[in-house]
Structure 1
Amino acid sequence: MRIAAIDQGTTSTRAMLLGPDGTLKPVLALPHAQTYPAPGHVEQDGEELLANILRCLEAVAPHAVGLANQGESCLAWDARDGRPICPVISWQDDRTADVTAALARDGAGPLVMTRAGLPLDPYFSASKIGWIMRHVPKAAELAAQGHLRLGTTDAFFRDRLTGRFETDIATASRTSLMALETGRWDADLCALFGVPVECLPAIGPTSGDLGQLPGGARLVVSIVDQQAALYGHGCDRPGAGKVTFGTGAFVQCLTGVLVRPDRPGPLPTVAWQKAGEPVTYALDGGVYAAASAVNWARELGLFDDFAGISAFDAVPCIDRGVAFVPALVGLGCPHWNRTARGAWLGLSLSDGKSDMMQALLEGIALRTGEVLSAMQALCRFARPISIDGGLSRNGYFVRFLSEVAGNDLFLAEDTEQTAMGLAWMAAESFGMTRPESRPGHLVKADSAFRISRMGAFAAARKAVEDFSNSFNGSNRAVNNRSSGSDIVP
């Protein structure tokens, strides 16, 4: 039985095979382009993503496949030929920040939070899909003819690969269009965002018989990448949590039952639903810029190779009054402020590139610490928090994270936990049993400076938010005056 995991991620598509010893064998990794056609716009080519998945299928020649998707990224396509009528709008895209802000001012926030369990934020798919309906003329034309299909990238892939226009309940829970308690599209939410519900895919489980792929393999798992990683980390009981450090940093904690926070912070989400079983829920929180912030700094020339930022001679920057707030695409959980932008604070003439990189790594860890603290208030972590991803291989970062996380960390030996979750969820559907032990090592928490560091970072974050609020307010006033408006908010 050749079981393959295909992880269609933010920057690449990777294929791996599950070996008889329970390890993963990398087979193929294919990058894809991301374009930035306007400020705040992040797009991809749906046909390129699909072509990369097909190349991965050919390379692994599997019997069964688990497929992960990016989550909130979405697009529209023609039902007749499956061709996209617009680019994929990435989860990182915030072109609809003004739309969600206007909905919030109109008092729509409580409805969305009550039904979908999500705040009004352009991160989620609903406002992006609504944007397509308003700004892509072909969308309205196809909708009138009954030929429009809308959805997250997984629905597009599955439509083209299996001929079944479907999504899974975990991915649907990330759109702001699904009612968490029923697992169905919500007519009121669809109307609020301007999304025709009849153009959305059918919602089904995350695993089971999901259709036949080109080449004859069966699709047996389709799920959001972060939920796949949660499963890969072996988080199978309430209180088990993980952090995946990829393009962003994503924290999840399994709750089993649905836990509803009183206000936006960590968010309730569907973890998975195996065929014939009840829905399993989790809490979710994200830091939008992690590896993307590091790569951005490298492009700026702040460092040459990753080995050079794995250790620093100086004491932590935050202890010296230097901080970096990684809000390069806004602040996610628990602040949900997409207008905030990144900044270094406290720099002096004696600080150089090394100090700026040290502060940047600390800033990602401190933002992760904020998410962990907010989540801990709702669901206490029952064991060490499992971490994976590229930044989990940076010695300085992991040590500093252990000092501000407030919990012991388990550093998984395998960095591909998304693929691991896909592979084992697929394998278990064929009766295979996953080993209980996982290779890795424990990193003990050292919280001696945690409170002071988190306090200093909170002050830096507040300064960034205050500046962003002031700047955005001034810009709105200028724009209103230049357009002849008498109203200055």
Structure 2
Amino acid sequence: MPDLVLAIDQGTSSTKCLLVDPSGAIVRSASAPVPIRYPQPGWVEQDAIEILDSVLAAATECLSGVGKGAVRAVGFSTQRESAVVWDPRTGLPSGPVLGWQDQRSQPICDALRDKDQAHRVREISGLPLDPMFSAAKLRWLLDRAPSSSVVGTVDAWLVHALTGSHQIEVGNASRTQLLDVRAGVWSPELLDLFGIPASALPVVTPSSGSLGIIGERGGVLEGLPITAVLGDSHAALYAHGAAGSGGVKVTYGTGSSVMRLGSSDSEAVCLTVAWDDCLAMEGNIRSSGATVAWLASLLGVSASQIGQMAASASSDGVFVVPAFGGLAAPWWDDAAVGVISGLTLGTRAPQLARAAIESIAHQVTDVVDAMGGASCLLADGGASENDHLMRIQADLAGVPVRRARAANLSALGAAFLAGGFTGLSLDYDDFDPRPIDPAVRIAWRDAVARARTPSGGS
């Protein structure tokens, strides 16, 4: 098995490892879970050591019986906005990992908004002032950590733990809200606004190249070079090869990432670095698969049963707006609240199930519309395996949906970049749009309006 690349996809709930050959074929795979904790409403925590341990456990299983000489490089795709703080001398965490869904830093964002800094933050970083992004989380962590602590995102933590180098990949750095997104460097003005000392931040590096050699702490990975690091959504876009296709990538996971290459001044979507010097537009949806999981728990059934109920039911005018922690793109209304509208005495579980599935497609369509439309949607992620959702998505967006048959697109994207694999193409299942009654989308927007604050949010 010569010339293999090990791709490590460190996600919110698990770490997955793939061994990939130059043809793009997956030779071996393994995964390990990562615990998530919810100590208070709106708080989402993980443990940095448990994240590292999951990487080592998945890698050890994936490489079992494979000679180290068969692997020539390691590529990472990682969860993005989650914030980590640690002691650079001991390599031990100085606090919890604040997950990308964590809302505890909302007061820090509110204070900056009260000082009329929201527009300036967006102007420099390309991101709306929102606790989803790392900057306010990093401030919260530094306020409670020893003064010698350093900070970063999950990719920075893993690279430091494995190589001893304090660095961050430029695409992940662009999600911190501290990077000048067009210049690709830390912004002194944003560091000052959020109160983040430059000395606590990692060095910004390209997405590919010689990014470090893994040391003894890496166990079975010791001695292997890291040649690519990408944010998970960016890695999926890279795997699709969406450059120049006019397609918009949609990753359906706990939340959803809607991303296309190019830039925009629209405040409905984010401007971010896809990889290296390539800019991308992105709209983030906080609750997609999480909506299905919530309803499944509420009804005492499995997520797959929700999908089965939805496939044979009509929503009958019921809409679920899953603003569990506010609404992200294209509304960016952190004061929005979750709403179920259109209930009648005849509403039963199947109607709610259908409405929950439809809420995913409606939200994605809202973002695609804010991006100016698309020639097609390139779908991946766990929820994309639901054929019914893909058909609903094509109908609501009014464009074909092309679902990648390969799973683990984020890991594959990291492998393709790390190995320099070019000319590879994916196989897709296609879903063509069918006409819908325009009143359906109008009713959805009415439901969103009910979920939002009277002022329309910030």
What TM-score does the superposition give when structure 2 sets the normalisation length? 0.92
Alpha-carbon distance between aligned partners in 1 of 2:317 and 2:111, rounded to the nearest angstrom: 37
In the TM superposition, 1:209-288 aligns within 5 A as: 209-213=210-214, 214=218, 215-237=222-244, 239-255=246-262, 259-262=263-266, 264-273=267-276, 279-288=277-286
In structure 2, give the amino acid aligned to 1:112.
V
Aligned to 1:439: 427
Partner of 1:290: 288
Moved more, 61-70 or 188-197: 61-70
> Shift of the alpha carbon at 1:400?
0.9
Aligned length: 442
- 1:345 Cα offset (Å): 1.0
What code does the residue aligned with 2:136 have?
S
Report the identity percentage.
33
Match of 1:355 among 348, 351, 354: 351
Structure 1: 4+ residue segments shifted above 3 A: 302-305, 310-316
| Cα deviation code 1:114-139 (max 9, x no counterpart) | 111111000100011111122x1x33
- In structure 1, the residue corresponding to 2:123 is in which secondary structure? helix
| Residues 67-466 of structure 1 aligned to structure 2 (within 5 Å) | 67-134=76-143, 136=144, 138-139=145-146, 141-142=147-148, 148-213=149-214, 214=218, 215-237=222-244, 239-255=246-262, 259-262=263-266, 264-273=267-276, 279-301=277-299, 303-304=301-302, 306=304, 309-310=307-308, 312=310, 316-317=314-315, 320-376=316-372, 381=374, 383-428=375-420, 432-435=421-424, 437-449=425-437, 451-466=438-453
> Cα distance, 1:329 vs. partner?
2.2
Q: CA–CA distance in 1 between the matches of 2:245 and 2:303?
A: 39
8 A Cα contact 1:109 1:119, kept in partner: yes
Q: Secondary structure at the match of 2:177?
A: coil
Whole-Å separation in 2 of the counterparts to 1:210 and 1:28: 24
Match of 1:38 among 37, 40, 43: 40
Distance 1:448 1:350, change over 3 A: closer
| Secondary structure of 2:17 counterpart | strand
- 1:63 aligned counterpart, secondary structure: strand
For residues 303 and 396 of structure 2, the distance between their equivalents in structure 1, rounded to whole angstroms, comes to: 26
Distance (Å, rounded) in 2 between the aligned partners of 1:392 and 1:302: 23
Contact 2:45 2:98 in 1 (8 A): yes
The 3 A distance-change label for structure 1 pair 447 and 375 is farther
Q: Is the 8 A contact 1:220 1:426 kept in 2?
A: yes
Question: Within 2, Cα distance between the matches of 1:44 and 1:94?
Answer: 14
C-alpha displacement at 1:260, in angstroms?
Answer: 3.6
The answer to whether the 8 A contact 1:7-1:13 is kept is: yes
State the 1:405 CA deviation.
Answer: 1.2
Q: Residue 326 of structure 2 contacts residue 336 of structure 2 at CA under 8 Å; is this kept in 1?
A: yes
Partners of 1:22 and 1:10 in 2: CA distance: 25
Per-residue CA deviation, residues 63-121 of structure 1 (Å, 9 max, x unaligned), is 31111111100111111111111010000011122221231121001211111111100
Q: Equivalent residue of 2:413, what SS?
A: helix
Amino acid at match of 2:432: K
Deviation at 1:447, TM superposition (A): 3.8
- Residues 311, 24 of structure 1: CA spacing in aligned structure 2 closer, same or farther, 3 A cutoff? farther
Partner of 1:479: none
Partners of 2:86 and 2:94 within 8 A in 1: yes
Q: 1:7: how far off?
A: 0.5
Separation in 1, partners of 2:93, 2:73:
27
Deviation at 1:48, TM superposition (A): 0.3
Q: Which amino acid aligns with 2:235?
A: A
CA distance in 1, matches of 2:43, 2:295: 20
Of 5, 8, 12, the residue aligned with 1:10 is 12
Report the Cα distance in structure 1 between the residues aligned to 2:27 and 2:101, rounded to whole angstroms.
30
**Aligned-pair distance for 1:311?**
5.9
In 2, are the aligned partners of 1:10 and 1:70 still within 8 Å (CA)?
yes
Deviation at 1:457, TM superposition (A): 0.6
**Could you tell me how far apart the structure 2 residues matched to 1:305 and 1:197 are?**
44
Distance in 2, matches of 1:370 and 1:224, equals: 23
Q: What amino acid maps onto 1:7 in structure 2?
A: D
- Structure 1 CA distance for aligned equivalents of residues 365 and 422 of structure 2: 34
Q: What value does the CA root-mean-square deviation take over the aligned residues?
A: 1.9
Name which of structure 1's ranges 83-92 and 457-466 shifts more when overlaid on structure 2: 457-466
